[in-house]
Amino acid sequence: MLMRVFMNALRSLLNSIDWLNNWTGKITSWLVLILTLMMASEVMMRYLFNAPTKWSYDVSWMMLAAFTALGLGHVLLRDENIRVDIIYSNLTPRTRFAIDTILTLVLLFPVAIILAWSSIDHTVYAWKVDEIGSRGYWMPPMFPVRLVVTIGIVLMAVQSISYFHRNLLALLKKGK
């Protein structure tokens, strides 16, 4: 009875993580369109009107960082991460689940923890010292973009738990 309650709670938590990363990925995908339109308008301003903006470079790399980081969990949820398909596609489903389960434990969890910890540290630092960007002319505050990147990495880290659970269940189910 207690195990059933625990499993239901775990399943509910993992479904919530999946829902959140799915929602975040869909919303984030619109940033690509916004970035494309923004860069197209910058090209027009620069070459047609000879009036480039000072903020476009900074905003473009911040948006790229944001949608890259926020998309990590969504990619993992949809299992669209990069693999050497010439090898992976020729394996049996059971072998694929075994490889995914083992590599999640050995590589994904440690990397996700290190990235999340480091990202949180950088975000706190940016907030404490009022860090500003120095790549372009605008010099925007760095805290907002560092916070968004941290949120994306944390979403990927928690999605890795759901990813591991799905692969482990599939591996165990195939074994029966």
Query: Is 9 exposed, middle or buried (CB count within 10 Å of its CB: 0-12, 13-18, 19+)?
Result: exposed
Q: 104-163, pLDDT tens digit by residue?
A: 999 999 999 999 999 999 999 999 999 998 877 788 899 999 999 999 999 999 999 999
Q: 60-113, pLDDT tens digit by residue?
A: 889 999 999 999 999 999 998 887 778 888 899 999 999 999 999 999 999 999
* Contact between residue 68 and residue 29 where contact means Cβ atoms under 8 Å apart: no
Task: Give the Å distances, CA to CA, from 104 to 71, 85, 139, 146, 173.
Answer: 18, 18, 38, 25, 18
* Contact between residue 132 and residue 141 where contact means Cβ atoms under 8 Å apart: yes
Confidence (pTM): 0.87
